[in-house]
Every structure is written in C-alpha cells, then in structure tokens.
Chains A and B, each alone.
Chain A
Amino acid sequence: MIALEPHLRERRDGGAKLLVPYVTGGLTEDWVDILHAVVAAGADAVEVGIPFSDPVMDGPTIQEASVRALGRGTTPGSILAELARCQVDVPVVVMTYYNLAFRMGDLRFARSLAAAGVSGAILPDLPLEESADWERESAAAGVASVLLAAPVTPDDRLACIAERARGFVYGVSRMGVTGERTSVAASAGVLAKRLKATTDKPVLIGFGISTPEQAVEVCHEADGVIVASALLRAVLDGEGPEGAAAFVARLRRALDGG
C-alpha cells in the first residue's frame, strides 16, 4: 500500500491541487475498470465506498449507488478481494459506515483493509468521542484514519480533529448530506480556511462538489476536493470507464489551471 499522507503532501507541496474521485465498490461489473480509468485521468487518490444498508450521511445518488451495489451481492469482502487483485497507482481510501467495521471487529477490519492494499479509511458516523479504539487499531494495521470536520465544529474540536486525523482532514463543505449541487456553499471556503490555519496536514473538501468550476473555487482555500455524487450520477446514468475518465479529466484540467 502507498502511505496516504506522505503521498498527498508530496503532490500538494509540488504545487498540485488534490483530486480524489469516489466510486461505490461493486456498483457495476466493471467498477474496478472505472477506478483505473479515473486514476489514469489524474486522480491523486481514490475513495472506494463500501455500501451500507443505512447510509445516513448520503443523499439520493449515493443511496441509489449503494442499493444497486448491494443488489449485485456486493459485500465488504468482495470489494476488498477485488481491490487486493488489482494494482492501483495511487492510494485507495475506503469510505463506509461503522457497523461494517464493528461487525468484523475493528482490528480485523483494519487488517483486511491493509491486506487489500487500502491506505486509509473514512467512517463518517464515528466522531471523536467514539473513534479512539478504531484510531488505535487502524494505526496498528498501518491504515490512516481520516477524520471529518463540519462547518459547525467549534474551534477546540476542530483542532482535536486535525491533530488526530491521519492521511488528510476531510472537511464537509456544508451542513447536509452528500449529493450534487448547483453551487458551492459559503461554508466550504470558511471551513477550509479554518482547517488550513489549524493544521499542515492535507485539507480536502467534499460533499456537493459537482463541477470543475466548483472544484477550482473550493481549492482557493483547500488543498483539494473529493468528488462523489456527480461522478456516480454519470455512472448510474450509464457512463462506463471512458465517460468517468472524461469527467475526472475535466476536473483535473480545471484544477491544473487549464
């Protein structure tokens, strides 16, 4: 596996804005091809969603993707097995809900991520008060525990989140669930700025970032963006690896100033 934080720091410090597309594991027969395609199109890391039955932080698009993936018989094990078989050239970060880790056991889950070559994990329903055990077990397995900060997070919590986060700090752009939006919430820039003033770790903003223009706007303050629903919408509407790659390439060009 590729160590997440050094990889992202190196690219950021080299002057790049970071781009992390999200793909729901098991969404389609060719989801691994989509993963490779978005990496080739310029992703700095990729996020792989392990679908959960009750994704309370997700809006309609990721819910639909989760239902479809689960309907195909996708399990945490099947996704990790497919990841273990393929060589991805950038770090892979999984995003899922805590019950899937808890059912397997924190340490076993962390070790199976590591065994599949996964560099980091995002568990959005595991706030600071509940994440200490997971942070310890994931660290022991060599998996970065990415923590999330929200626009309403007060300064003292923000500092604590930034301190304990591994890999990068995930700033939630707005108060709400995931999903495409026509504009970027003002809270995105404010949060990115607050995080940047708090930590030297890479600061990535996600939730609702849907277009190249929005990605550029957010990156005035943030080190990078996570793009999920807008990409998945295209895949759900029938785009294959090529269409996904074209979408990510447009984001890449915009972030690179082209």
Chain B
Amino acid sequence: MSMTEPTSDGRFGQFGGRFLPEALVPACLELEAAFRSAWADPAFRSELDALLRNYAGRPSPLTEAANLSERLGVRVLLKRDELNHTGSHKINNVLGQALLARRMGKRRLVAETGAGQHGVATATAAALFGFECVIYMGEVDVERQSHNVFRMNLLGAEVRPVASGARTLKDAVNEALREWVASVSTTHFCLGSVMGPHPYPWMVRELQRVIGDEARRQCAELLGGDVPDVVVACVGGGSNAAGIFAGFVDTSARLVGVQPAGGAAIGRGLPGVVHGSKSMLLQDEHGQVSEAHSISAGLDYPGVGPEHAHLAAGGRAEYPSVVDAEVLEAFQLLSRSEGIIPALEPAHALAWVVREAGRAIPSGSTVVVNLCGRGDKDVAQVMAHLGLRP
C-alpha cells in the first residue's frame, strides 16, 4: 500500500468521501482545486518552505534517546516536532492552510480545537497573516486547557466555548461546521487533522508529510542508509501519524498508530459517517456517535482519519491502544530519562513503546517515535492526576 492521492471522490479504499451539506460542497470543490494548484506551484511551495524554516523552526531534530534506549533495550529515536514554534506539529498544517486561504482571497479562519494546540497554531498563523480568527473549543477542554485559551486570546483569536454534547472535540467540530455554513464566502475552515470531507484528509496529510520526509532523511543519515524497524505516533484524528507514516509507507518499517483506549475508533469502532467522511467510528448499534474518553484532550475524538482506517484495513499500519495510567507513566519516564516533557498525546506513542519493548518490539529494534507536542500545557492536569495539587 502507499499513501498517494485519494480517488476523485476523495476515497482511500472504502473510506473518505465528502459527506456534507450541499451548502458546503462548492467550498470544498473550490478548496480542492486551490490546493491542487498551489501544491503544484513552486512559488507556493517555496514560500511555505521558507515559513517552515524561518518561522516554525524546521527541520526538527531527530534525537537519540540514549537513556531511554538503554532502559528499554530498543533504540529509541525521537522526532522532535515539539520543538516547532507553538510547541507541536500543528503549525506545519496551519501555515500551509493560511497561505492557501490568502491565495483564495479569504481573510478569516475558523477552527476546532481539542487540547488547544491546533487552536493556538491557527491563532498564530492568523496573527502572522493579519487574519481574523475564531476557535471553537468544548467547555470541558476550555477548563482543562485554560492556559492554551489564554494563549489564543493573546494571539488575537476569539475562543468560543461549545456547550453541546460532551463539550469536547467532537462538539467543537460540529459547531465549527455550523459556523462555516454561514460564513463560507469569507472564511476558510482551518481543519486541524486528517479528517473531515475531501480534500482535508489528503491536504492535511500532505502538509504534515514534512515530518516523515525529514525523518526519513535523518534516519538514513543516522542509520547508514537504513530505515527504522518501527515508526510510532499517537492517533486521535491522526495528523501527526499521517505525516510521519507518509515518509515511511514505502519502506519495510512497521507503522504503528497508538490510540487512547477510550477513543480507539480502529478496533472498537465500526464504519460510520460523521464530520464529512466515512471512517471507523465509535457509535452505538443505531449509529449514534459515542463519546470518547481520554486523559488527552487532543485525542478525545470518537472517529479517526479515513486514510488510517484504510491503512488498518489493508494491514499496512497497526493501531493498538494504551490506557491513561500507561500514558502518565510514560509522560514521567521521558521527562526523567531524557529531560523532555512530552505532551500527553505523544506520551501515548511512548507508552506503547515502553509496554511493548522486548515483546511486540523485539529487543535491539530501532524505533522512531513522533514526539509531536510538548507537555507544558499538560503539567497542571498531570499534577492533578498524580494527586499533587499545587
């Protein structure tokens, strides 16, 4: 299997598509055409590359995690996307979409956010480009990520708390879509993950593949031309995983997307349609979408990007899950062993490596972990979980 362009109707195998109200179809067709033309335009690519280099700080290093490797008996390499400006991989995608919005003549961005990382990145790009910016965020997430809410406000964005449903990421997506129907003529919906209607899953993966392309080159250098045995990333919607997988899908590397146990759409879900695409989805027997439960606001989503559902169905990637306690353990372990505090999201990927080293990951293997976000935003929440209220 490869990760190429989806079919003209936006399908990755049986997944994907464009399941959305007629009012939004013309905008998605326009976006697809605009992205296709921009992505083939060397001037657009070089402007984006310059922004990624000079503003976001790319390339991000590939760090040998020597202490952790010694402890686990597998060689762990960390792709340091938490060192990007704004502290996560989300900036890769939003800089591309902001450039695209400007190219389409749209000067206003709306976005959904869970942990707030995508919201902060979008607000950052909006500030840089002089765009108006509105971020929808579930009330529960506003509370557990108040630090990021303030960051978005500082950056000039308006954060609109969403009170419907479970008041988390799924509900923020619903509300952002509702607003987009009304504002589509002036506004670009800056979706943060490889989900939603075509062309978003494809476009966001292409904008994130810089992670995988860099990591591939860095691995070749470090491993004498070789590829790693395993590439691991966390998966909520799955944008950081799609980005890093894209660099290794044509190699022998095992691709592993680690889901939260309470949001494991691949494994515990069934095919379903929500938020514009067909994918694997946590839902009840009638098709009502279930609520995900995770310690990580960024992974608290009942669906998964359609291309991941396709990679899983074809057996090219595997999607195990970890529980919150394992995540908290890995969060602390990386902090102490390497001096790097990871976000709770990539702590899921680490937790799987910690659990499976010497088991599903044979001793001596080389494992690349996409460290897609830094943990500053999560410190207060982790303190509370550990019973260490300030």
Contact = CB atoms under 8 A, between A and B. Distances in A.
Interface of A: 52-59, 63, 67, 70, 75-77, 97-104, 124-130, 147-154, 157, 161, 172, 175-177
9 contacts: A53-B165, A54-B174, A54-B275, A54-B289, A99-B283, A102-B273, A124-B21, A129-B17, A172-B22
A56 B184 contact: no
A58 B21 CA distance: 11
A56 B165 CA distance: 12
Contacts of B389: none
B38 interface: no
A217 to B, nearest CB: 21
Given A149-B22, A153-B26, A175-B184, A54 B274 contact: yes
Given A148-B22, A150-B21, A103 B287 contact: yes
Contacts of B359: none
A56 B181 CA distance: 9
A125 B20 CA distance: 4
A176 B286 contact: no
Given A56-B178, A59-B178, A175-B185, A127 B18 contact: yes
B200 to A, nearest CB: 15
Contacts of B27: 152
Contact of A161 (B22, B274, B281, B283): B22
B21 A54 contact: no
Contacts of B170: 54
B177 interface: yes
B221 to A, nearest CB: 44
A90 B219 CA distance: 68
Given A130-B17, A152-B23, A172-B22, 7 more contacts: A52-B287, A58-B178, A63-B164, A97-B273, A103-B272, A154-B26, A176-B181
B197 to A, nearest CB: 9
When A and B form their complex, which 8 residue pairs have the shortest distance between CB atoms, in order from nearest?
A103-B287, A150-B23, A176-B182, A53-B288, A100-B287, A99-B287, A150-B22, A53-B289
B286 A103 contact: yes
A130 B184 CA distance: 21
Contacts of A102: 271-273, 278, 287
Interface in B247-302: 270-276, 278, 281, 283, 285-289
Interface string B1-30: 000000001000000011111110111000
Contacts of A151: 23
A1 B221 CA distance: 70
Contacts of A128: 22, 25
Given A125-B273, A129-B25, A98 B181 contact: no
Contact of B286 (A77, A147, A157, A161): A77
A255 B20 CA distance: 32
B169 to A, nearest CB: 12
Interface of B: 9, 17-23, 25-27, 164-165, 170, 174, 177-178, 181-182, 184-185, 270-276, 278, 281, 283, 285-289
Among B170, B287, B289: residue with most chain A CB under 10 A: B287
Contacts, number: 114
Contacts of B174: 54-56
Contacts of A152: 23, 26-27, 184-185
Task: Decide if the interface of chain B is mainly helix, strand, loop or mixed.
Answer: mixed
Contacts of B184: 152, 175
A131 B372 CA distance: 38
Contacts of A77: 286
Given A75-B286, A130-B17, A154-B26, A98 B185 contact: no
A127 B286 contact: no
A221 to B, nearest CB: 19
A152 to B, nearest CB: 5
Nearest to B289: A53
A30 to B, nearest CB: 23
B283 A129 contact: no
Contact of B18 (A56, A103, A130): A130
Contact of A153 (B22, B165, B274): B22
A143 to B, nearest CB: 18
A178 B9 CA distance: 28
Contacts of A157: 22, 25-26
B177 A175 contact: no
Contacts of B288: 52-53, 70, 100
Contacts of A130: 9, 17-19
Contacts of A125: 19-21, 273, 276
A170 B25 CA distance: 16
Given A57-B21, A153-B22, A129 B9 contact: yes
A130 B181 CA distance: 19
Contacts of B271: 102
A56 B25 contact: no
A175 B182 contact: yes
A175 B286 contact: no
A152 B287 CA distance: 30
Contacts of B18: 127, 129-130
